[in-house]
Amino acid sequence: MSAWTTSELISRLQDEFAGYLGLEPAQVDPELPLDQLGLDSLTAAQLAVDIEDRLGVSLFFNDLSGRATIAELAASVLREPEP
């Protein structure tokens, strides 16, 4: 994960979420709790898979359906030890 800075990862996650929400990335507030973004459970699960495929970042479905923010997800991912 050291290839990403926090701001780069937040930006890329905003891009991914925006694509699923039909928004521009700038419209996706990285400080807004994810449960307020309007993703249903099926979409959140697919988003987690796509993020892992495209960015090489593992997000758990539970992370996408809770009160975490994109900024918190990015920070959490970057704290994870590399395999």
What would be the CATH architecture of the domain defined by 6-79? Orthogonal Bundle (1.10)
What angle do the packed helices 70-79 and 6-21 form, to 10 degrees?
130
pLDDT at 26 over 80: yes
Give pLDDT tens digits for 34-74: 888 888 888 888 888 999 898 888 887 667 777 889 999 89
Show me where the domains of the chain are located.
Answer: 6-79
> Who's near 74: CB < 8 A, 6+ residues apart?
4, 6, 9, 10, 13, 30
pLDDT at 1 over 60: no
Mean pLDDT of the chain: 86
